[in-house]
Amino acid sequence: MRGEVEIPLNKTQKLRLERALEKLESISSKANLSDASVTVADEISVNYEDGVLQGHGTSEMNGRLVATVCGVVERVNRLVYVRALRSRYKPETGDIIVGRVIEVAPKRWKVEINFSQDAVLMLSSMNLPDGIQRRRTAVDELNMRSIFEENDVVCAEVRGFQHDGSLHLQARSQKYGKLDKGQLLKIPPYLVKKRKQHFHHLNDYGVDLILGCNGFIWIGEHVAAVDDMVVDQIIKSEQPDSKAGDSVNSDEQEQSYTSLDIRQNICRMANAVRVLSSLGFMVTMEAIVEIVKLSNSKKFDIHDMLGAEFYVVVAEEEATRRSSSSKKR
């Protein structure tokens, strides 16, 4: 298996999985024109006549030297090893990240983002609920917990490192902020490629998908961007009428309920991410949707997606897809 999760396989499933992975290995070896960087199961070209020493991150398979981790091939005299990619996320300015609030401090929130140090989201770098651009006051600081509190999941953008060495975030847009009604998943950061678009609204499923560059993935119920100032004006205009206030409260309660279909879609997509991560495949919006469609077409229930048979089916389908795409080239 490529991933870290050990799945019990029967003999037939093990044989099918080995064949699928071997097919993926052969396709990957043909496509990999350079030894500079390798993924799991890529072949490393060596000359055994020179007496090669097998180092960390390599393994001999059928007379070939293959990589067992993702990274960069290094050669020191006769020693060949693979320098693994960073297990932690390396932030860059402009990255879209998903994190969890771990502390509410004076004028700032501390956020865990899968980095060697916690990030800082300043109150001055936060889009306030009233939507008005103004100086932050002492009242705003007292009301910080009404915006974010411990264990809240948030989406933000990396602003950069400050002079004191701390990593700062910013959330100056409506698309950033608190995330709820969904699942937070953690995968290796190298499985998430940096793209122009990390926010995805999957209209067919009623789900929002955020692929954090730091390896934190958010899958939740779709939330439409609403102008908070307009909402505030509507609520104020309805406050004198108690009956109207009651109707607003009932509407809020209805909106807070997530339908069964959407909850099932969230769980199905979350399991798709887990399967892709365990198999060592890149996690993209397209790949997640394909896994969801595959589970539906093959009549797999949500809980069965984490079973051995579905892992084998996904590996076989991926091998077939890559094989057909390589032939087209």
Tens digit of pLDDT for each residue in 166-213?
999 999 888 899 999 999 999 988 888 888 899 999 999 999 999 999
Q: What is the pLDDT of residue 255?
A: 57
Mean pLDDT, the chain, whole residue set: 83
Confidence bin at 6 (pLDDT 50/70/90):
low
Closest CA to 277 of 328, 218, 217, 203: 217
Q: Name the one residue in this structure whose structure tokens are 């009956």.
A: 243
Do the beta carbons of residue 196 and residue 96 sit within 8 Å?
no
Instruction: Give CA separation, 250 vs 225, 254, 255, in Å.
Output: 21, 6, 9
Q: Give yes or no for a contact between 130 and 229, defined as CB atoms under 8 angstroms apart.
A: yes
Specify the CATH number for 86-179; select among 3.30.470.20, 3.40.1410.10, 2.60.40.10, 2.40.50.140.
2.40.50.140
Tens of pLDDT, residue by residue over 45-58, are: 777 767 788 887 88
Q: How confident is the model at residue 72 (pLDDT cuts 50, 70, 90)?
A: confident
Helix axis angle for 285-297 and 308-328, nearest 10°, is: 120
Strands 58-61 and 64-67: antiparallel
Q: Would you place residue 34 in the very low, low, confident or very high pLDDT band (cuts 50, 70, 90)?
A: very low
Report the interhelical angle of 228-238 vs 242-255 (nearest 10°): 140
Compute the distance between CA of residue 259 and CA of residue 266 in angstroms, rounded to an integer: 11
Position 183 scores a pLDDT of 96
Q: What is the mean pLDDT of residues 78-101?
A: 83
pLDDT digits (tens, 9 = 90+) for 293-329: 999 999 999 999 999 999 999 999 999 988 887 666 5
The model's confidence at residue 131, banded by pLDDT at 50, 70 and 90, is low
Give the mean pLDDT of 134-138. 83
How far is it, in rounded angstroms, from Cα 149 to Cα 162?
24
Question: Cα(101)–Cα(251) distance, rounded to whole angstroms?
Answer: 29
Domains 33-84 and 86-179 share a fold: yes
Architecture of the structural domain at 33-84:
Beta Barrel (2.40)
CA 128/CA 70 separation, integer angstroms: 41
Spans of all domains in the chain = 1-31+183-245+260-329, 33-84, 86-179
CA dihedral in degrees (274, 275, 277, 283; nearest 10)? -90
